[in-house]
Amino acid sequence: MKLLTTVSALTLALAGMAQAQAQCDSVTMSDVGWTDITTTTATAKHVLEALGYDVDVKVLSVPVTFASLESDDVDVFLGNWMPAQTAAITPYLDSGEIEQINVNLEGTKYTLAVPTYAYEAGLKTYADIAKFEDELDAKIYGIEPGNEGNDYLVSLAENDTHGLGNFEVVESSEQGMLSQVSRFYKKEEPVVFLGWEPHPMNANFDLQYLTGGEDFFGGEGVVHTVTRQGFTGECPNLGKLFAQMDFTLAMENQIMGEILDEGEDADDATLAWLQANPAAIEPWLDGVTTTDGAEGLAAVKDALDL
C-alpha cells in the first residue's frame, strides 16, 4: 500500500510538472498601442518564437493591462512607464498581483510638450498655458482615453489648476494626436500635447518639454517590465529572459522612426534591427534555453538569421 501511495504521489507530481511546463510553453503579452511598446513587444516576440514559445499579443489600454495581469489573463507587459503610472500600478504592486522584474529602459521623458517657437514665445511651464488660451483654442492634445497621463491633465482642468478650467483635453490615438500637432506645426501655430522620449517626434519636431508637471510625470523616468504574480517562479526560463531584456533610447528611436516615418511593419522593422545588431541579444539570452532545453542564443541566431 505504501508503494502504491508513493507511486500515486509521484504520478501526480509529474503530471503537475508537465502541466506547468505546458503553461510555460506560451506567453501572453500586452501592447498598449504606443509605438515604443509595440517596438519592444515585437522585438521580444521574435526572440520568444525563436526559442520555441507560442506568443499571444493582446492590444489593451493601460488600465485593462493591469487588470488583466491581476486576473492572470496577461503574463508580461513591457511598458510600465514610471513615475507616470505610479498611481495606476501601486495598488497592484501593494497587493502582490503585479511584480516589477526589470528596468528595461532608462532616461525616458513624458510630460506636456510644445514646439520650440511656442516655447520661445513664453509657453515654458504648465502655469503659462492659460496665458495662451485663445491661441490654443483652449485645447490640450492627449493620447488614448483611459491613459493615466490624460486623466491627470483632465484633473488639472476640472480643478482649474494653473488656470486650466476652460481647457479641454482632446483624447485620441498616438497617431491622431501627432497628426494634429503636425498641422499646427506646419503653420507655426502654438499647440500643447503629451510628448515623450523615446519617440521620433523628438527628431521630426523641434520641441521643448514644459516644467510644472513633475509631481505627476516626474523628471527623467524609467520603463519597467512587469509580470503577473508568480510568473517568474512558475516559468524561470522566461523570467530570466525578461529580467535581462534591456533596451536603449537609440534602438527604440531608430525602430520607431522606421515604423512611423517610413511605414514599416513593426515585425519587419524590429527583425531588420535585430539582424543589423546581433550582439544586442547576447546579454538577453545569457543562461536562457529553448523550450526543449537547447542553448538559447545559438537557436535564436539561427532562427532569425543573425
Domain at 27-107+220-304, CATH homologous superfamily: Periplasmic binding protein-like II (3.40.190.10)
Cell of 224: 519597467
Q: Where do the domains of the chain lie? A: 27-107+220-304, 109-217
Task: Report the alpha-carbon distance of residue 250 to residue 270 in Å, rounded.
Answer: 13
Cell of 275: 539582424
What pLDDT sits at residue 220?
Answer: 87
What pLDDT sits at residue 2?
Answer: 52
Instruction: Tell me phi and psi for residue 102, to 5 degrees.
Output: -165, 145
Where does 109-217 sit in CATH, by number?
3.40.190.100
Cβ within 8 Å of residue 6, ≥6 positions away: none
Other CB atoms within 10 Å distance of the CB of residue 47: 23
CA 269, 271, 276, 277 torsion-angle sign: positive
User: Residues 208, 165, 169, 128: what is their CA dihedral angle, to the nearest 10 degrees?
Assistant: -10
Cβ proximity of 65 and 30 under 8 Å = yes
Q: From first to last of the 306 residues of the chain, give the pLDDT tens digit.
A: 554 544 444 443 333 333 344 469 999 999 998 899 999 999 999 999 999 999 999 999 999 999 999 999 999 999 999 988 999 999 999 999 999 999 999 999 999 999 999 999 999 999 999 999 999 999 999 998 888 899 999 999 999 999 999 999 999 998 899 999 999 999 999 999 999 988 889 889 999 999 999 988 888 899 999 999 999 999 999 999 999 999 999 999 999 999 988 999 999 999 999 999 999 999 999 999 999 999 999 999 999 999
What is the residue type of 83?
A: P
The residues with which 98 forms a beta bridge, in sequence order, are 228
Cβ proximity of 273 and 265 under 8 Å = no
User: Residues 266, 267, 272, 275: what is their CA dihedral angle, to the nearest 10 degrees?
Assistant: 140
- The alpha carbon of 247 is separated from its chain's Cα centroid by a whole number of angstroms, namely 11
Q: Which of 90, 100, 110, 102 is nearest to 216 (CA)?
A: 110
Q: What is the 3-state secondary structure (H, E, C) of 42-55?
A: HHHHHHHHHCCCEE
Query: Is 27-107+220-304's fold the same as 109-217's?
Result: yes
What pLDDT sits at residue 278?
Answer: 97
Which secondary-structure segment (H or E) carries 30? strand 26-31
What pLDDT sits at residue 12?
Answer: 38
